[in-house]
Structure 1
Amino acid sequence: MLKRLTDRIWYYPMEEERDRPNLGYIRGDNWSLAIDAGHSEAHTKEFYKALEENGLPLPKLTVITHWHWDHTFGMHAVNGLCIANERTNQYLIDFKRRLSQEGPEFFLNMHESIRKEYSGNKPVIVTTADMIFHDSMTLDAGNCIIKIFQADAPHTDDSTFIEVPAEGILFVGDATCGTFPEWEKDPELSKRLAETIRRSEATTCLEGHWVPVPKEDTIKDLLEDIKE
């Protein structure tokens, strides 16, 4: 069920069993934008069905927070165009090449959640971004300014953040997590991320696999992990 965060922002909630992340949605006066493309075509289509049931237009643009499969392997099924930073796009190029060379077995064997998402011999399809950016960019979806920027984070080295200052929301993807599969966090990267979040105009953070929380809670968790 689609959940509303603010006047202009909704999200399609995460699911642990198939490791599906939250998918974000921002509605401007002129066009709409999604955050992340989903784990598979099935995930993307469920998201779109929920948008349509709520009378919301499909996104014209989808922004990718980082390259991991649960956020990107639905890219081939999105409406409109996908945008990613150049490092994210290179990871997708590399993974697509590996799939073509080795087949999907290595991917399906990575985790049970992946096998559940792709049960019934669903095809594993990887596509690259339509648009590539470096560092940062600002969009106006129609009386709705959206800031897209790269920043250091402990989860991956290709994190993209999406901020809607007027709505007080910052989408951080999985940036606050450790690295897969050990989930260890580099203390210095955690400190840098905490400072990035602190400098934002947002009051609320939405992570990829958690509920929306005050940004102070996200910062506190990052810094407490360092102390531990």
Structure 2
Amino acid sequence: MPLQHLAGRVWLWPHDPDPDAIRGCVAVIADDRGSVIVDAGNSPDQARRIQQAIAAEQLPAPRWLTYTHNHWDHTWGACAWEDVEIVAHSAATAILEREAARPWSHAYLRDQVAANPKLGPSFRARALAMADWTGFKVVPPHRTFDGTLTLPTGVRLEHVGGSHAPDSLIVIDDESSVALLGDCFYPPPFHEREGDESTDFAMVRRLMKTGLEWYVDAHSAPRRMAGRLSGR
């Protein structure tokens, strides 16, 4: 699958529309100082496919990889990304260190679902993503921050939190007028929901105030703001 050019220096590896796959989009913000990768992919295999697509487009080699949050479908590809600095919000570290200590395998996934059936959708998707566990590991971030952080390429990371994950951040490329949102306005994962938790519309309204042209969450098609279609 080739990368899709969105705007300016932002390219996307699209999400999988099959909800059972739980494979979000991965973004590449290309810059001669080093590209920024937004989310690692849901497996080393997906990460390697994205690397091939980056090479095919002759984009600058990645130098930074940022997690929009700690969930597996955004972080499990990290062990296949080499020579990058992984950046995340500080709340991600302890969570990912705990995940890294778990004995991941297909047998472990089955045992966990047997103990807690609510894990079924997530853990079945993990099994589909991971044909081979050789060399797999969960990688905590190398660098963390609180609040905001601007990378040397001008890409801005902003912590927004929310109910989906406490470490949720958004990635903004003002040069391209693009905001990469991860899952910050989604409800919590199924096994963690209470009552009728649903889309965080207050978060959506907050994000829209940034006044950018493109908004990309991890599991939907990119959205373009009305009134920003031309004349930028």
Tell whether the structures are fold-level matches, with TM greater than 0.5: yes
User: Which residue number corresponds to residue 221 of structure 2?
Assistant: 211
Q: Verify: 1:73 aligned to 2:73, yes or no.
A: no
Q: What is aligned with 1:168? A: 177
Q: Which amino acid aligns with 2:177?
A: G
Tell me the residue number matched to 1:222: none
Are residue 178 (structure 1) and residue 187 (structure 2) matched? yes
Which of residues 177, 189, 198 is equivalent to 2:208? 198
How far 1:214 moved relative to its partner?
2.5
The two structures have a TM-score, normalised by structure 1, of 0.82
Structure 1 residue aligned with 2:64, among 51, 61, 65?
61
Q: Distance in 1 between matches of 2:174 and 2:156?
A: 8
1:127 aligns with 2:139: yes
123-132 vs 27-36, greater mean Cα deviation: 123-132
Map of 2:116 onto structure 1:
none
Does the 8 Å CA contact 2:32/2:60 hold for their aligned counterparts? no
Query: 1:5 is aligned with what amino acid?
Result: L
Mean Cα deviation higher: 14-23 or 200-209: 14-23
What corresponds to 1:87 in structure 2? 91
Going by fraction, where is helix more abundant, 1 or 2?
1
Query: How far apart, in 1, do the equivalents of 2:128 and 2:105 lie?
Result: 18
**How does the TM-score come out when normalised to structure 2?**
0.81
Q: Is the 8 A contact 2:79 2:136 kept in 1?
A: no
The counterpart of 1:32, out of the listed 25, 32, 35, is 35
**For the structure 1 residues 64 and 215, does the alpha-carbon distance in structure 2 shift closer, same or farther, using more than 3 Å as the test?**
farther
C-alpha distance in structure 1 between counterparts of 2:61 and 2:149, whole Å = 22
What is aligned with 1:219? Answer: none
**Conserved? CA contact 2:214–2:224, under 8 Å:** yes
Q: Output the aligned Cα RMSD.
A: 2.2
Give the CA deviation at 1:12. Answer: 0.5
Letter in 1 for 2:213: T
Write the distance in 2 (CA, Å) between the matches of 1:147 and 1:136: 7
What are structure 2's unaligned runs of at least 5 residues?
Answer: 114-118, 227-232
Give distance in 1, aligned partners of 2:168 and 2:152.
21
Whether the aligned pair in 2 keeps the contact of 1:177 and 1:185 (CA below 8 Å) is no
Q: How far does the alpha carbon of each residue in 1:22-64 deviate from its partner, in whole angstroms, 9 at most, with x for none?
A: 0001012322101001111111000000111111122100010
Q: How many Å separate the matches in 2 of 1:203 and 1:75?
A: 29
Structure 1 CA distance, aligned partners of 2:91 and 2:30? 27
- Secondary structure of the residue aligned to 1:209 is coil
SS of the residue aligned with 2:170?
Answer: strand
Contact kept in structure 2, 1:165 and 1:201, CA below 8 Å: no
* Deviation, structure 1 residue 94: 1.4
Match of 1:225 in 2: none
Aligned partners of 2:89 and 2:169 also within 8 Å: yes
Q: 1:169 to 1:78 in 2, by over 3 A?
A: same
Matched, 1:159 2:171: no
Aligned ranges 1:108-119 → 2 under 5 Å: 109=113, 110=119, 111-119=123-131
> In structure 2, do the counterparts of structure 1 residues 60 and 158 end up closer, same or farther at CA, with 3 Å as the change threshold?
same
Deviating more after overlay: 44-53 vs 70-79: 70-79
Report deviation, 1:166: 2.3
Partner of residue 48, structure 2: 45
Instruction: Provide the C-alpha distance between the structure 2 equivalents of 1:75 and 1:56, rounded to a whole number of angstroms.
Output: 19
